[in-house]
């Protein structure tokens, strides 16, 4: 599974959804995105989501904290994508996926 710069890197340095300046912005080939913005207050925002499923924003006080959280969230999103059920999946598979999303959101 691979992450690539969103829009070939053209979003870096532009205004992001939290009104900050985008420092990092990547998309996953299976339909996810993560963006790191330098905002002001709070100093950093990490916006992440799985297309069509969830979008969430986490905040960090320092650039180091933001970078660490960014990498941890990316890894967790990859695990989520592995759990993503097909439309006709059993209810238990869908429930596991939604529990994993809730768990991620509660930590970040």
- Give the rounded percent of residues in the chain with a pLDDT score beyond 70: 99
pLDDT exceeds cutoff 90 at 40: no
Domain boundaries, the chain: 3-107
User: Tell me: the pLDDT tens digits for 44-90?
Assistant: 999 999 998 889 999 999 999 999 999 999 999 999 998 888 888 89
pTM for this structure? 0.90
- Three-state helix/strand/coil letters over the chain: CCEEEHHHHCCCCCECCCCCEEEEEEEECCCEEEEEEECCCCCEEEEEEECCCEEEEEEECCHHHHHHHHHHHHHHHHHHHHHCCCCCCCHHHHHHHHHHHHHHHHHC
What is residue 69's predicted lDDT score, i.e. its pLDDT? Answer: 97
Mean pLDDT (whole number) for 21-39: 97
pLDDT exceeds cutoff 80 at 1: no
């Amino acid at each position: 599974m691979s992450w690539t710069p969103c829009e070939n890197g053209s979003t870096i340095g532009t205004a992001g959804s939290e009104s900050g300046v985008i420092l990092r912005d990547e998309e996953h080939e299976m339909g996810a995105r993560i963006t790191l913005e330098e905002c002001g207050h709070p100093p950093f925002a990490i916006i992440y989501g799985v297309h069509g499923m969830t979008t969430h924003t986490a905040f960090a006080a320092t650039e180091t904290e933001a970078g660490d959280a960014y990498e941890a969230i990316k890894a967790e999103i990859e695990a989520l994508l592995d759990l993503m059920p097909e439309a006709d999946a059993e209810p238990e598979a869908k429930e596991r996926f939604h529990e994993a999303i809730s768990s991620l959101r509660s930590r970040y």
